[in-house]
């Protein structure tokens, strides 16, 4: 099995098609990512507020369906997305949402989880995809095609290198934006 895989990789490297790096190839690389945990810092620029809100914590992805966002600062909370249920836990408060009722959450789900999973059909259900840059430093833009999502998010920009996502930026319809930067955990 391992041998066959190695052979396949060699074959891929040898082929000239390798030069034509595209969305298909990026998705293929991303899909090979076995998941795990990373550190994130998120800055939210909200017009209502005088200064950006900064939060940080851990982001975990467990293919194919489970995404965990554990915010540690400024206040701990946990968001878990498991299949189609989004649950948010904050102190004693627990909130559980069915995604079909929540286009906002849907936008969030399909962008991050779809990207991490390299699930192009899932992404293309809600967004038009544009890829720029190189394999070493790529930028994938998601433009909502579903008007319900477009009413909230005008663009999601995901930056990364090879099979790693480095940043996610949400540009909201009201002009507010959130920028999340992602780094590997220092352990290992």
CA dist list (Å): 69 to 22, 46, 56, 59? 29, 21, 10, 5
In angstroms, give the least distance from the CB of 19 to other proteins.
40
Q: Is the dihedral of CA 140, 143, 144, 150 positive or negative?
A: positive
Nearer to other proteins, 101 or 136 (CB): 101
Which stretches of the chain bind other proteins, using CB under 8 A? 42, 44, 46, 48-51, 53-55, 69, 71, 74-75, 77, 79, 84-86, 88, 90, 92-96, 98-102, 104-105, 108, 152, 172, 176
Nearer to other proteins, 30 or 153 (CB): 153
In angstroms, give the least distance from the CB of 35 to other proteins.
19
| CA gap 140, 123 in Å, rounded | 11
In angstroms, give the least distance from the CB of 156 to other proteins.
12
Nearer to other proteins, 50 or 136 (CB): 50
Nearer to other proteins, 44 or 164 (CB): 44
| Closest to 159 measured CA to CA, from 129, 185, 133, 121 | 133
| CA gap 40, 38 in Å, rounded | 7
In angstroms, give the least distance from the CB of 28 to other proteins.
28
Give bridge partners of residue 60 from the DSSP assignment: 37, 68
């Amino acid at each position: 099995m391992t041998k066959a895989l190695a052979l396949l990789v060699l074959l891929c490297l040898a082929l000239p098609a390798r030069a034509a790096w595209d969305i298909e190839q990026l998705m293929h690389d991303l899909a090979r990512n076995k998941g795990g945990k990373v550190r994130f810092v998120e800055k939210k620029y909200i017009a209502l507020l005088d200064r950006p809100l900064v939060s940080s914590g851990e982001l975990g992805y467990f293919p194919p369906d489970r995404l965990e966002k554990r915010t540690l600062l400024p206040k701990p909370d946990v968001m878990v997305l498991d299949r189609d249920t989004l649950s948010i836990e904050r102190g004693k408060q627990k909130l559980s949402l069915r995604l079909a009722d929540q286009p906002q959450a849907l936008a969030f789900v399909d962008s991050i989880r779809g990207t991490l999973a390299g699930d192009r059909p899932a992404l293309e259900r809600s967004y038009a995809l544009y890829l720029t840059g190189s394999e070493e430093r790529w930028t994938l833009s998601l433009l909502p095609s579903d008007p319900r999502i477009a009413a909230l998010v005008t663009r999601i920009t995901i930056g990364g290198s090879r099979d790693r996502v480095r940043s996610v930026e949400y540009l909201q319809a009201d002009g507010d934006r959130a920028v999340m930067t992602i780094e590997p955990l220092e352990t290992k």
